[in-house]
Amino acid sequence: MDMLLLAIGAIFVNNILLAQYLGNCPFCGVSKKLSTALGMGAAVTFVAVVASMLTWAVYHYLLAPQGLEYLKTLVFILVIAALVQFAEIFIKKQSKVLYDSLGIFLPLITTNCAVMGIALLNIKHGFGFVQTVVFSAASAAGFALAILLFACVRERLFISPVPSAMRGTAIALVTAGVMSLAFMGFTGMTN
């Protein structure tokens, strides 16, 4: 039950995108088409879960015993960057289609604050390994959910009579704000 609440909290209440505003670059960049957004969501989920597991292990077995907790940000950047590079090489080999559709955004995950944020939040909340996995997967799922919803909205926005000054990213940010307000409705459902 705790795990379920944790997951629901991560997906809806503390949605990494709409409540914490992390990971905005791909949110605006890759959300023009539903199919690309789907690929991006999947990629972030994959990277976030694996990165969290790895950083959790690094933190608890390498940094904490040595009293080097203050190095976590630096080390996590290094670990996540290497991981994303690895993921890129791997996807390129295994799925050309996925690689083509994500294009330049795969390297973007390297500096994706959502992934970094999830890894740091795990430590901040003092989660155990299982909690870390659940929280990371749920947070990333929240990211995927938000970007998919947003892509649907943007596909409709594209054919709407938007004033030319507001076209593109401007209207996207306004829309994101409105969506964020909508997600505020979940506040208080869990602690």
Partner 1 sequence: MLIPAMILGGIAVVAAVGLGVAARVFHVDEDPRIKGLTDLLPGANCGGCGFAGCSACAAAIVEGKAEVNACVVGQTEVARSLADFMGMELVESGPQVACPDCQGGARATLKYEYGGFDDCRAAMLFFHGPLQCDHGCIGLGTCVRACQFGAITMGEKGLPVFDPNRCVGCGACVRACPKGIISIISETTKILHWNLYSECLAPCRQKCPAQVNVPKYIEHIKNGEYDLALLTVKERNPLPLSTGRVCPEPCALACRRQTEDEPVAINYLKRFVADWEMNSGHRLHIPVAPDTGKKVVVIGGGPAGLSAAYYLRRLGHAVTIFEQMPALGGMLRYGIPEYRLPKAILDWEIQGILDLGIKARTDVKLGRDFTLDFLRVEGADAIFLAVGAWRDRELGLAKTKPAGVVSGIKFLERFQEDPSIRVKGHAIVIGGGNTAIDAARTSLRAGAESVTIVYRRSRDEMPANPVEIVAAEEEGVQFHFLCAPNRFITEDDKLVGLEVLGMKLGEPDPSGRRRPMPVEGSEEVIPCEQLVEAVGQMPDLDFLQHDGMPTLPTTRWTTIDAKEHTLQTDVPYIFTGGDCFTGPGLMVEAIGAGRFAARSIHFYITQGEIPPIEHRQTNLVPDSIFDSIVGVAPLPKVHEQVVVSLEDRLGTFKEVEGTIDEEDAIYEACRCLNCGTYCYDHDMEMIRLQAQEEAAG
The residue count of the chain comes to 191
Angle made by CA atoms 141, 114, 123, in degrees to the nearest 5: 95
CB neighbours of 14 closer than 8 A, spacing ≥ 6? 20, 139, 142
Q: Kindly determine how many residues on this chain lie close enough to bind partner 1 according to the rule CB under 8 A.
A: 24
Q: What part of residues 132-191 is at the interface with partner 1 (CB under 8 A)?
A: 159-161
Using CB under 8 A as the criterion, what x/- string covers residues 31-70 for binding partner 1? ---------------------------x---xx--x-x--
Among 4, 61, 100, 178, binds partner 1 (CB under 8 A): 100
Minimal distance, residue 66 CB to partner 1, in Å: 6
CB atoms within 10 A of CB 42: 14
Residue 124 interacts with partner 1 (CB under 8 A): yes or no: no
Comparing CB distances to partner 1, the nearer of 94 and 191 is 94
CA distances from 38 to 48, 61, 143, 179, 184 (A): 15, 35, 11, 18, 24
Number of helical H runs and strand E runs in the chain: 10, 0
Minimal distance, residue 90 CB to partner 1, in Å: 6
CB neighbours of 116 closer than 8 A, spacing ≥ 6? 76, 77, 80
Q: What part of residues 78-97 is at the interface with partner 1 (CB under 8 A)?
A: 78-79, 81-82, 85-86, 89-90, 92-94
Among 34, 38, 42, 71, binds partner 1 (CB under 8 A): 71
Q: Which of 88, 83, 86, 84 is nearest to 98 (CA)?
A: 88
Site for partner 1, rule CB under 8 A: 58, 62-63, 66, 68, 71, 74-75, 78-79, 81-82, 85-86, 89-90, 92-94, 100, 103, 159-161
